[in-house]
Structure 1
Amino acid sequence: MGQFDGQVAYITGIARGQGRNHALRFAKEGAAVIGMDIADRVADHMTYPPATSDDLAETVRLVEEAGGKILARQGDTRDLAFQQQLVADGVAQFGRLDHVIANAGILTWGLTWELTEEQFTDVVDVNLVGTWKTLKATIPAMLEAGNGGSIVIISSCAGMKAMPAQASYSASKFGLRGLAQTAAKELGPEKIRVNTVHPYAVNTPMGVEDPEGLKAFQKWGRHFPSIMDHYPVASVDDLTDAVFYLSTAAAVTGSEFQIDMGATKV
């Protein structure tokens, strides 16, 4: 028996990294997965490798290889109609919706006054507005199912402690805290819990394969250290462990769960 037998999870950004790991582990624990990813370059100003349609196909293959059920489509979190249709089709196929993991996001680098308009608005639109659209698309299905459930929003330690050269990213991730707090208060009476997770560096292309991130660390390193020098980068399993805990912790809502090696305390 699995921890999530008979349940259904909606996960954004599943093509690789954290999202793929969440999808695979939910499937291994018995949940059907409804997933999406843009699986393409979101913006020209991204300086780390983008996910691809092949990555998304590999996630589907891995989930099915593990015996899981999955409905996955390529699309943009900023496209509300796309998300609403995917949710409707997923619920029609699997019968319910229990968990939402709002994982999709992008990062760009630059000084506050030197960022282009696109660098600021693209990041806020994907990370904050796109997550709101994820909630707008999924919450009605959770309410209709009447099973309660859990929403986990992946923010960042940059949403707890603003970082230099990350004005748009930090603003979007701070914004997710407010969004989550509001939703937690609204959905408490419906037995739906809403929490945020705040990672520091994670072993994904965004986390470790961005040359601009390395430059920022070299220039403003005093703002980026963690407490755990022996464990500088979290694994994707570290993040899924946190998501699993929050998805099952009946007494936890409105929390801000930091998987940051102590970085927000430095």
Structure 2
Amino acid sequence: MNGRVVLVTGAARGIGRAQALRFAQEGADVVAVDLCGPVGTVVTPPASPEDLEVTAKLVRDTGRRIVTAQVDVRDGTALADAVTAAAGELGGLDFVCATAGITSSGAALELDTQTWQTMLDVNLTGVWQTCKAAAPHLIERGGGAMILTSSIAGLRGLVGVAHYTAAKHGVVGLMRSLAKELAPHRVRVNSVHPTNVDTDMIQNDMVRRAFRPDLEHPTREEFAAAAVTMNMLPIPWIEPVDVANAALFLASDEARYITAVALPVDAGSVSR
């Protein structure tokens, strides 16, 4: 990754932070974007500006450069401006990790319109906005790679999160279309599909109670005992670095002829 530059959305924590750090450890400079604030309809704790600064420090500690921006991926104009400015400062852009996302829950027939729309706006339209903002810079460099973070919910139906599942399935369709449209420019596009990942997006009462509705405040251990049933391998969840490693491979020269692929990083969950 020496001499390369990666854009990571949702970079303040979780998978996005892990991606920023792993790319930096392999020599890339980083453009780190995150809203760093709440999203309506979402009850899980949001990332903060301080979280994004932690990511920046971790990257700088590797000796690499980083440009941060607090931007909402739903705002295409602001996102494009931030990406263009950062690419100018760092000398270009080679890779994209479109990772920013939210979670909420509700039965499909009980979701209100705003909850449905916000989910699609962030988890699908936000990914499209990210790719749209970055693509001209990758084309200018003569090629590159985009890795779109989907979910096992992009490959199978999940109960209680129809809006999330629809958005993550949409990411797969977007990935496949972009792979075809950008192939003449030597830009590869793939998606990664994690099972549960040990981040703040699952380690909260809302998600824990979905797995253990018999308990008012399930502990981490009680949640783990239920979550392990989702996976083929006997683990309750994977770590952010596992997803980051998959993204790093898909961006690397070792994956130079891999495009339009939906790669599960799921401990066998999809095949279970």
Give TM class, smaller chain.
over 0.9
Alpha-carbon displacement from aligned partner over 1:154-205 (angstroms, at most 9, x marks no partner): 0000010110110110000000000000000111121111000000110110
- Code of the residue aligned with 1:153 in structure 2: it is L
Please, which of 43, 65, 72 is the counterpart of residue 69 of structure 1?
Answer: 65
1:264 match: secondary structure = coil
Please, which of 200, 212, 232 is the counterpart of residue 236 of structure 2?
Answer: 232
Partner of 2:158: 163
Q: Within 5 A, what are the aligned runs for 1:14-33?
A: 14-33=11-30
Alpha-carbon distance between aligned partners in 2 of 1:218 and 1:171, rounded to the nearest angstrom:
24
Q: How far apart are residue 210 of structure 1 and its match? A: 2.6
Which ranges of structure 2 fall in alignment gaps of 5 or more residues? 214-225
How many residues align? The count is: 259
Q: Kindly indicate whether the alpha-carbon contact (under 8 Å) linking 1:232 and 1:261 is maintained by their aligned counterparts in 2.
A: no
TM-score by length of 2: 0.91
Structure 1 ranges of 4+ moved more than 6 A? none
Q: Within 5 A, what are the aligned runs for 1:31-50?
A: 31-43=28-40, 45-50=41-46
Q: Does 1:213 align with 2:245?
A: no
Q: How far apart are residue 51 of structure 1 and its match? A: 0.6
Alpha-carbon distance between aligned partners in 2 of 1:129 and 1:42, rounded to the nearest angstrom:
15
Higher mean alpha-carbon deviation, 155-164 vs 61-70, is at 61-70
Please, which of 105, 111, 123 is the counterpart of residue 127 of structure 1?
Answer: 123
Partner of 1:99: 95
TM-score by length of 1: 0.93
Please, which of 182, 188, 196 is the counterpart of residue 193 of structure 1?
Answer: 188
Q: Does 1:261 align with 2:257?
A: no
Q: Kindly indicate whether the alpha-carbon contact (under 8 Å) linking 1:47 and 1:211 is maintained by their aligned counterparts in 2.
A: no
Partner of 1:5: 2
Alpha-carbon distance between aligned partners in 1 of 2:8 and 2:198, rounded to the nearest angstrom:
19
- Code of the residue aligned with 2:266 in structure 1: it is D
Report the identity percentage. 37
Alpha-carbon distance between aligned partners in 2 of 1:214 and 1:31, rounded to the nearest angstrom:
36
Partner of 1:177: 172
Alpha-carbon displacement from aligned partner over 1:221-252 (angstroms, at most 9, x marks no partner): 79x621112x2210111111100111110121
Q: How far apart are residue 67 of structure 1 and its match? A: 1.2
Q: How far apart are residue 65 of structure 1 and its match? A: 2.0
Alpha-carbon displacement from aligned partner over 1:129-159 (angstroms, at most 9, x marks no partner): 011000110001111222x111000000001
Alpha-carbon distance between aligned partners in 2 of 1:92 and 1:48, rounded to the nearest angstrom:
35
- Code of the residue aligned with 2:208 in structure 1: it is L
Alpha-carbon distance between aligned partners in 2 of 1:169 and 1:257, rounded to the nearest angstrom:
18
Q: How far apart are residue 59 of structure 1 and its match? A: 1.0
Q: Kindly indicate whether the alpha-carbon contact (under 8 Å) linking 2:8 and 2:97 is maintained by their aligned counterparts in 1.
A: yes
